[in-house]
């Protein structure tokens, strides 16, 4: 009787088709981020504006019931592109998204660099785009939950509470704006975070970099705008560029009299630079000089 070999044996089957390694990386990164208590806190904190604005949509259809309480708020509660721009372009929401990027994204690549995990990844049948795509997807997941999901829910709530399709009749491009803006914002912030995460092996350092660059750009804008009163300086600030672009996409009045296409170019340049740097930094072998 033959005695079976109890050591390691090669698997004789065939690899499954349609495999998507980036989904594995994305799923793992999402689960890791979600495990942290403070991250859950920050994420639910970031949902407050969405709840507030959703409440606003409800109240807008019941103004007379809330008239006493809402004296002076009627103008704000007109549900139009400016209302949605107030949500999508709000400083608080952008700040909370940055905090979430720090929590979920600062260590995404820096931890892999620190623990020398890249050779482990690339010793599997994994391409660079799968690796970057997976990390990108984990960040975009959280960001879309804060942008696309509330945006579509706002529209649905308005339709339900108004009992009519007037919103869509007046602004038929609105759902597409929400989708377009959410995808662009999520892509930008994800690539921005991955770029900075790839620049260091120390998660604390990359955490600070992510927020510092964001706030520094706004601080410099504030200084130059305060002195020269030239609106073009808004192109220095990441936050202002994002708000300019979101106003353009929502069809609302922009903050500054600067063509939105310039903001799009600035942000796209940062995304392009991010992709170039990531392609250079992410490699399976470490070169020691």
Partner 1 sequence: MPTAPFLAVYRFSVKLVRRSKRTKVFVAVAALPVVLALILQINRLASPGLNLDGLAVFSNVVMGFSLQFLVLLLSLFYGTSVTADEVDNRTLTYPATRPVPKNAFIIGKYAASVSFLLILLLVSTILAFLILMVDRLSYGTAWAFLGRSLAALSLGTICYTALFTLAGTFLRKSILFGLFFCFGWENVVQYFPGTTQKFTIMHWLKSLLPGIEAGMGPSNDGTGLLKFLLFRHEPSPVWAAILTIFVITAIFLGLACYIFSRKEYLFDE
Instruction: Based on the shown chain and the rule CB under 8 A, indicate whether residue 90 belongs to the binding site for partner 1.
Output: no
Binding mask 155-194 for partner 1 (x = CB under 8 A): ----------------------------------------
The H or E element spanning position 101 is helix 91-114
Instruction: Based on the shown chain and the rule CB under 8 A, indicate whether residue 196 belongs to the binding site for partner 1.
Output: no
Instruction: Based on the shown chain and the rule CB under 8 A, indicate whether residue 103 belongs to the binding site for partner 1.
Output: yes
Give residue for tokens 């903001």.
Answer: 263
Q: Which is nearer to partner 1, 184 or 192 (CB)?
A: 192
7, 72, 163, 226: which one contacts partner 1 (CB under 8 A)? 226
Q: Which is nearer to partner 1, 207 or 246 (CB)?
A: 207
Instruction: Based on the shown chain and the rule CB under 8 A, indicate whether residue 207 belongs to the binding site for partner 1.
Output: yes
Binding mask 12-41 for partner 1 (x = CB under 8 A): --------------------------x---
What are the DSSP calls for 211-269, one per residue?
HHHHHHHHHHHHHHHHHH--GGGGGG-HHHHHHHHHHHHHTPPPSSSS-HHHHHHHHHH
Residue 65, C-beta contacts closer than 8 angstroms, at least 6 positions apart = none
- Distance, in Å, from the CA atom of 134 to the CA atom of 36, rounded to the nearest integer, reads 20
Instruction: Based on the shown chain and the rule CB under 8 A, indicate whether residue 47 belongs to the binding site for partner 1.
Output: no
How many residues belong to the chain?
A: 289
Separation of first and last alpha carbons in the chain: 57
Number of other residues whose CB lies within 10 A of the CB of residue 140: 22
Tell me how far, at minimum, the Cβ of 36 lies from partner 1, in Å: 8
Give residue for tokens 């981020």.
Answer: 33
Q: Which is nearer to partner 1, 205 or 262 (CB)?
A: 205
Residue 58, C-beta contacts closer than 8 angstroms, at least 6 positions apart = 157, 161
Instruction: Based on the shown chain and the rule CB under 8 A, indicate whether residue 227 belongs to the binding site for partner 1.
Output: yes
Number of other residues whose CB lies within 10 A of the CB of residue 126: 17
Any idea what DSSP says for residue 288? P
Instruction: Based on the shown chain and the rule CB under 8 A, indicate whether residue 63 belongs to the binding site for partner 1.
Output: no
Tell me how far, at minimum, the Cβ of 210 lies from partner 1, in Å: 10
Q: Which is nearer to partner 1, 92 or 176 (CB)?
A: 92
User: With CB under 8 A, what is the number of residues at the site for partner 1?
Assistant: 23
Degrees (nearest 5) of the Cα angle 101, 41, 50?
Answer: 80
The window from 134-142, 186-194, 203-211, 236-244 that contacts partner 1 (CB under 8 A) reads 203-211
- The residue ranges that bind partner 1 (CB under 8 A) are 38, 95, 99, 102-103, 200, 202-205, 207-209, 211-212, 215-216, 219-220, 223, 226-228
């Amino acid at each position: 009787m033959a005695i079976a070999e109890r050591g390691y044996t090669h698997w004789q089957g065939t690899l499954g088709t349609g495999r998507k390694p980036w989904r594995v990386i994305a799923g793992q990164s999402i689960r890791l981020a979600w495990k942290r208590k403070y991250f859950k806190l920050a994420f639910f904190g970031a949902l407050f504006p969405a709840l507030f604005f959703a409440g606003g949509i409800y109240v807008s259809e019941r103004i007379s019931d809330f008239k006493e309480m809402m004296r002076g708020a009627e103008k704000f509660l007109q549900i139009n592109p400016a209302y949605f721009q107030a949500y999508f372009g709000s400083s608080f929401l952008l700040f909370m998204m940055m905090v979430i990027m720090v929590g979920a994204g600062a260590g995404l690549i820096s931890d892999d660099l620190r623990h020398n995990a890249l050779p482990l990844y690339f010793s599997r049948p994994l391409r660079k785009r799968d690796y970057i795509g997976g990390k990108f997807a984990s960040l975009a997941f959280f960001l879309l939950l804060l942008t696309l999901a509330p945006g579509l829910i706002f529209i649905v709530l308005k339709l339900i509470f108004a009992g009519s399709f007037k919103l869509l009749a007046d602004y038929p491009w609105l759902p597409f704006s929400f989708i377009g803006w959410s995808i662009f914002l999520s892509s930008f912030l994800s690539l921005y975070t991955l770029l900075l995460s790839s620049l260091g092996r120390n998660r604390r350092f990359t955490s600070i970099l992510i927020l510092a660059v964001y706030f520094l750009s706004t601080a410099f804008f504030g200084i130059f705008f305060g002195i020269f009163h030239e609106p073009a300086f808004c192109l220095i600030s990441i936050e202002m560029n994002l708000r300019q672009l979101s106003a353009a996409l929502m069809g609302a009045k922009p903050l500054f009299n600067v063509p939105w296409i310039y903001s799009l170019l600035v942000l796209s340049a940062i995304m392009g630079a991010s992709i170039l740097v990531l392609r250079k930094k992410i490699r399976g072998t470490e070169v020691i000089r």
